[in-house]
Structure formats: structure tokens, C-alpha cells
Chain A
Amino acid sequence: MSFLDIRNVSFSYNQKRMVLKHIDLGVDKGEWVAILGHNGSGKSTLAKTIVGLLHPQEGAITVGGIVLSDETAYDVRRKVGIVFQNPDNQFVGVTVRDDIAFGMENLSVPRADMLEKIRFYADKVGMSDFLDKEPSALSGGQKQRIAIAGILAMQTEMIIFDEATSMLDPSSRRELMDYIRELHDEGLTIVMITHDIEEALWADRLVVLKDGAVFADDTAENLFKRPDAFREAYLELPAALRIYYEMEAAGDMTPPLAETLWRLGSGR
């Protein structure tokens, strides 16, 4: 039984255009799935439906055995946390400590437990020295780390990253990816929404959305064997693989070169 089960989900904001079309998707416990797609492919919409912020017109979503509905949304949100794209628009607290506490306050966690958990998770994301700082003193990357700490403190089992790196500069992006890898190693289930293939490479599995529908669902390695599919979905292969395919097309490829390029492109 998958941890996250999305079955035949369709969604439209205004009846005129279907943003999600009959999506079928499963994520096992501990798995890291990257959802890739061009701008407008429905990725963020899908993320919001998983936590019940949007209600699909059709289909069902099950999280950790709970079928998502208005009544169960609260319980589902105890199992799934979501880090959004804009670091500033999800930071609720007046200080770092207050923001990490927010989710726990909502779950009526006793104060003593909160203080301990804040200390623990702030340390985990490397922000122990920042507990009294205000958000205006933090960089985008630091705010995203606090968002992660706040979600971990709620002891969720799965985290969705909704283009969480797209508003960050390259070094903050790399830092955040390091944290996500760490979380994965510790057994957290991860759904990462991105349009950056280099980030998606780290996932166990890639799901490609195109115009609201699942276009491909496979490992990165297998998907790379279908360069036309990538092009069709308006995605770009990593540079090494683009070189690989052009070399192949021109007939200039040699086996050692092929192996090296393939490793470089699909490796981590």
C-alpha cells in the first residue's frame, strides 16, 4: 500500500480549463519522488490538492491510510507538511522561535515539549543561533530551512517541496538540496516539485507532468533513454546527456565516451 495514493484526480479552477487531468500517482513510504513539468503543467496545483488546500472535482487522495476529505484534512495535515515557493509568504512568526512553534501551537502541544522540539529541530537545520532573530534579518535560504524545521517539529511523515528552491540563489539552493537529501536518508517520504532537472536527479523516481496530465513516471535513468519525451514535455536534459545524444546522432560516439557521458548526466 503506498503512503500517498492519488487516484484519477482532476481539477479545474473555473470550469474552463482542466488544470489536472486524471492524475494517477503513488508514492511509497520513504520514497523520494520528483514531479517535473513546464510552467503551467499543474505541478503546484497538484501539491495543494494533496494537503487539501484545493478540492479536486474528481478522484480520491489517500495519505497514510486516511482518505482525504474536509473532515479528515486536519489529520492528513498531521502526516504531510508542505514548504512553499516564497520564503517570505510562509513565515508567520515574529521571530524564528515563534515560527517553528506555530505548527505545534496549532496542534496544542504543551509548552515544555515545544521548547525542547524547537531547540532540537533548529539545531537540525543549523539555525540554533538564530532563534531570536526576526525574518527581515534572514536570507531566503535560511527562511526555507526554518520552514522545514517547523514542519519536522510537527512530526510529519512526508514533506512536499513546492518549487522551494526556485526563489533562492544557487548556493542557497545547493544547501537546501543537501538538507533534503539528509531528510531522505533519515527515512522521510519526499515529494519534490521542480522544473530543474539537476535537482530532480537525486530523487528515486521522476514523474513528468505535461499540460496537466502524467506524461511519464519512471526512474531518471529510464527517462533519459527517451530524449524525445523530454523535449515533448518542454524539459531540458542535463548538458552531458544533450552532448551524448548529439554525438550519437552524428555517429561520432565511442563506447568509453558514451559510458562517461551517460554517467555524468544521469549520475549524482
Chain B
Amino acid sequence: MKNIVIGQYVPGAGFFYRLDPRTKIISVIVLMVAVFLLGTILQVSLAFLAVLAVMLAGRISVGRVARGLRPLFVLLVFTFAFQIFLNREGALWVAQEMTVGLLSLSAVVVWTILWRLAARFRRMRSLFLLVWLAGVYAALSFLPAFGPVFARYSFEIYQRGVETSIFVVIRLLIVISLSTILTLTTKPTDLTQGLESLLRPLKKLGVNSDDFALIISISLRYIPTILDEANKIMLAQASRGADFNEGKLVEKVKQIVSLLIPMFIIAFKRSEDLADAMESRNFVPGKPRTRIHELAFGAADLVTAIVTVLFLAASILALVVA
């Protein structure tokens, strides 16, 4: 229960682990800008392959990164579908008349129910989703209009739609992969310290960024503690009959309140105690402090900087030439 990996950081070794967090943050931003300068599917595909090559060279597990993409799968599908449906330029590739009538709608409902029941036995959720979509497509397209018809729809896919959606999805994949490499190889505390260092110029504008890293690191440090407490509170309230699994909506609200209020109260007491402890150890907000963790640039950072600049130059070149 206590072995929780915060964010996506996985301890390891290799090129990316040796980099200063500031280098990684700036490179990711610059590379994202570079990617958005690209204009054709060919260019983004090359960029994607380059990212893959870099990951393999840096010994980043591609499988791990792919797993990190899973929660975003829905976003990718949505983006893809969005472009397909709304972009009506270029040559017409697919045209299909669909009828939304009593028969086809009932067929869709039955199909969905069957699909839900069968879903328990399927492992590849993503593929299974496509099977469902195919079924809906078939039902709406090929079943005769039997009974009242509610709407007729012309399902069309255009060339530009397909091209744009592929382009956008690949670009999204690159962006997500880059940020995943960042969070995979950088400890959360190093990340915040890097950000704090980069934000230091903001002090001139009156924004105090120095304690930023401390605030984040303290919050992170308490995550396992808070999770543990939440569990204990749920058990204590379950002891009084609060069943967190069942119950009508009204009861559920009460149950959630019985969990949240103790959590808040414990959190407030904690912040009071912590403030006392920090103050008694001579902490003064805003006052300059030395750090046990130092950030230092090395040869690896120089290499990364050079490669990033080259990428940017290549993108600008591609943009200008096109």
C-alpha cells in the first residue's frame, strides 16, 4: 500500500536520468514548439521516428511510455474522430447513407447490450471498441427502414479529414511522448527544483518562487500519509455502517462527507503543527536558503541542448522551404 510511484517517475539509469531537470524542461518546451512548426504528415512522421530513436538510444522503455499513453487513448480517438467528421475538404472517399429509425436504433441498443456483456471476456479494450463502432456503423447503414424514421444522415469521409486527423494524432503522440520522457526520468522534487530555478527571474516582478519547490515537495511527501489516513477513516466510518460501496445518492453524500471532514480537520491540524515545526527550525518564508540538492549542468546537458537546437533549426528550415 505504501509503494506508490508518484507521477510517472520510475527510478533508473541512463542518459536522460543524468540530465539536469532544467535542461529537460526547456528542451521539451522547445521541441514542442519545433513540432508545431511542422506542416506535413511526412514531417511529423519523421519527427516521431526521431523521438522513437532517441528513446531507444537513451534506453527508455517504449513499452512504459506506451502504457503512459493508455489513459489518453480516449483523447486520441476523440481527436481523430473530430477531424474525420468535421473536415469536409478534398476528395470524397467514403459516402454512406444512414437511417436512424426504430429498427436500426433498436439494433444499436441490442448490439450495445451484447457488447457490454461480452466485454468482460475481452482483453484488448481498444480493439473491442472498434468492433462496437463497426457494429453501429453496419446497423445504421445497412438495415432497412422499418417503422418510423427519426432522421437520415449522410456519413461522409473526405480525404483532407483523414489526412488532417492522422497529422494531428501523430503530433499529439510526439508531444505526449516528450512529456512522458520528462516525467519518467525526473524525480518530482528535482522537477520542482528545476522549475523554481527557472522561475527565479520572476522575483524581479515580485513573484516569490523560492519556496515553490518546498511547497510542492512537502505536498508530495504527504501523499502516502494522506492515502493511508483516508483508508483508516473509511474503515472507521464503515465500522459505523457507512457502506462506501452501496447506498442511494443521498446516503452517498453523507458517506463522502464523513470521509472528507475528518480528512480536512486532520489536514488543518497537520498544517498548524508543521508550521510550528518549521518555524522552530528557523524557517523564514522568502529568506534565502542553501540547498542540500544542487543542480549542475554537465556534458550530457550540452549535448541535449545542441541536439534540441538542431531540431528547432530543422523545423524552421522545413517551414521556410515549404
A in complex with B: yes
User: Shortest distance in angstroms between A103's beta carbon and chain B's nearest beta carbon?
Assistant: 4
Partner of B221, one of A53, A93, A101: A93
The residue that A92 contacts in the complex, of B228, B278, B287, B294, with Cβ under 8 A, is: B278
Would you call B277 and A77 a contact (CB within 8 A)?
no
Interface membership of chain A positions 168-194, coded 1 if the CB is closer than 8 angstroms to chain B and 0 otherwise: 000000000000000000000000000
Chain B residues bordering chain A, tally (CB within 8 A):
30
Does residue B217 face the partner (Cβ distance < 8 Å to A)?
yes
Please determine whether A108 and B289 come into contact, CB atoms closer than 8 angstroms: yes
CB-defined contacts of B292 to chain A, threshold 8 Å: 97-98, 101, 104-105, 111, 114-115, 118
Interface 1/0 per residue, A102-125 and B, CB below 8 Å: 111111111100110010000000
- Quick one: closest A residue to B228, CB to CB? A136
Chain A, residue nearest B287 (CB)? A106
Q: Please give, as numbers and ranges, the residues of chain B lying within 8 Å of A154 by CB-CB distance.
A: 281-282
Picked from A48, A92, A98, A108, the residue with its CB within 8 Å of the CB of B290 is A108
Q: Is B284 an interface residue (CB 8 A)?
A: yes
Which B residues are in CB contact (< 8 Å) with A257? none
CB of A51 closer than 8 Å to a CB of B? yes
Select which of B282, B289, B291 is within 8 A of A74 by beta carbon: B282
Report yes or no: B273 in contact with A86, Cβ–Cβ below 8 A: yes
Q: A84-B276, A97-B292, A105-B291 are in contact. Are A135 and B221 (CB under 8 A)?
A: yes
Contact of B220 with A by CB under 8 A: yes
Judge whether A137 is part of the interface by a CB distance below 8 angstroms: yes
Chain A CB within 8 A of B288 CB: yes
**In the complex, number of A-B residue pairs with CB atoms less than 8 Å apart:** 92
Q: B2 contacts which of A88, A92, A103, A137 (Cβ < 8 Å)?
A: A137
How many chain A residues touch B (CB < 8 A): the figure is 40
Chain A nearest CB: distance from B284 CB in Å?
7
B291-305, CB under 8 A of A: which get 1 and which 0? 111100000000000
Contact B282 A107 (CB under 8 A): yes
User: B263-286 interface mask toward A, CB cutoff 8 Å, 1 = contact, 0 = none?
Assistant: 000000110011011111111100
Cα–Cα, bound, A53→B228 (Å): 30
Q: Which residues of B contact A78 (CB under 8 A)?
A: 282
A114: chain B residues at CB < 8 Å are: 290, 292
Least distance between B133 CB and chain A CB atoms (Å): 44
Q: Is B225 an interface residue (CB 8 A)?
A: yes
Q: Across the interface, do B280 and A81 meet the contact criterion of CB distance under 8 Å? A: yes
CB distance A105 to B276 under 8 Å? no
Within the assembled complex, what's the spacing in Å between the Cα atoms of A21 and B287? 36
Interface residues of A in 40-78 (CB under 8 A from B): 48, 51, 53, 74, 77-78
Please give the distance in Å from A97's CB to the nearest CB on chain B: 7
Q: Give 6 CB contacts A-B under 8 Å.
A: A53-B276, A90-B273, A107-B282, A118-B292, A134-B221, A150-B281
Q: Which residues of B contact A (CB under 8 A)?
A: 2, 189, 217-218, 220-221, 224-225, 228, 269-270, 273-274, 276-284, 287-294
